[in-house]
Amino acid sequence: MTDPQACAPKLIFTWGNPSRGDDALGPAMFDLLENHKLKTSKLDEVDLLTDFQLQIEHAVDLEHRECVLFVDAGVSCSAPFEVRRLEAERDDSFTTHAMSPAAVLAVYRQISQHEPPPAYLLTIRAYAFGLGRAMSEPAKENLQKAYKFIIKQGSGIETL
């Protein structure tokens, strides 16, 4: 279903609900990067995608990629953000309506019968998730630091 000609070799995938406080960190990062991509050519080799949450069909978005960076909000990481290499893993998020990025990689491996592309998770420290709440000030600061970090990498996200 994915046309290889239409795919950039690298993918940055963000997720979250823009109207749930700091859960908006993922989509806010998407907006920043999309804006940056429009103004410069530094992310030409990168596709940007965003969604409310990760699900099984996102395994299809990993097809024909050389590298993937997932970006999300999290409460259990250090501020301002953490980056780690992901391995495909069948964790318990398989049993919910929202999956972890490692679980999406595992689905990719199972349905495609080959290893997923190298993937990283950048988790931006979040603090509150109330419906209708604005993003918190500390989260905004963390977002900016994470954004600068990604921009500094440019298209070289595989070097993370």
Partner 1 sequence: MPSTLETAKNPQQLERIVIEPLTRVEGHGKVTLLQDANHNIRQARLHITEFRGFEKFIQGRPYWELPVLVQRLCGICPVSHHLAAAKATDMIVGASELTPTAEKIRRLMHFGQTLQSHALHFFHLCSPDLLFGFDDDVRHRNIVGVIEDSPEIAKQGVLLRKYGQEVIRVTSGKRIHGTGAIPGGINKSLSTSEIHYLQKDIAQIIGWAQEAVELVKKIFFEHYDYHLAFASIDSNMMSVVGADGAFELYDGGLRARDYQGKPIFDHIDYRNYNDYIRESVKNWSYMKFPFITSIGQENGWYRVGPLARVNNCDFFPTPLAETQRKEFMAIGDGLPVQSTLAFHWARLIELLHCTEAIAELLCDSDLIGKDLRNKGELQCCGTGVIEAPRGTLFHHYEIDDQGIVEKASLIVSTTNNNQAMNESIRKVANQYLDGNQLSEALLNQVEVAIRAYDPCLSCATHAIGKMPMEINLLNDQNELIDRLEKRVTGQINRTF
CB of 156 to partner 1, least distance (A): 25
Check binding of 65 to partner 1 (CB under 8 A): no
Q: Which of 34, 45, 47, 51 binds partner 1 (CB under 8 A)?
A: 51
- Among residues 51, 141, 137, the alpha carbon closest in space to that of 101 is found at 51
Site for partner 1 in 136-155 (CB under 8 A): none
- Among residues 42, 28, 131, 133, the alpha carbon closest in space to that of 73 is found at 28
Site for partner 1 in 13-32 (CB under 8 A): 15-20, 23
Contact partners, residue 47, CB within 8 Å, separation at least 6: 7, 8, 10, 11, 12
Check binding of 78 to partner 1 (CB under 8 A): no
CA distance 102 to 99: 8
Instruction: CB nearer to partner 1: give 80 or 154.
Output: 80
Q: Which of 8, 31, 37, 52 binds partner 1 (CB under 8 A)?
A: 52
Site for partner 1 in 79-108 (CB under 8 A): 90-98, 100, 106-107
In sequence order, the β-bridge partners of residue 72 are: 123
CA distance 61 to 158: 17
Instruction: CB nearer to partner 1: give 55 or 154.
Output: 55
CA distance 43 to 60: 21
| Residue numbers at the binding site for partner 1 (CB under 8 A) | 1, 15-20, 23, 49-53, 55-57, 59-60, 72-76, 90-98, 100, 106-107, 110-111, 123, 126, 129-132
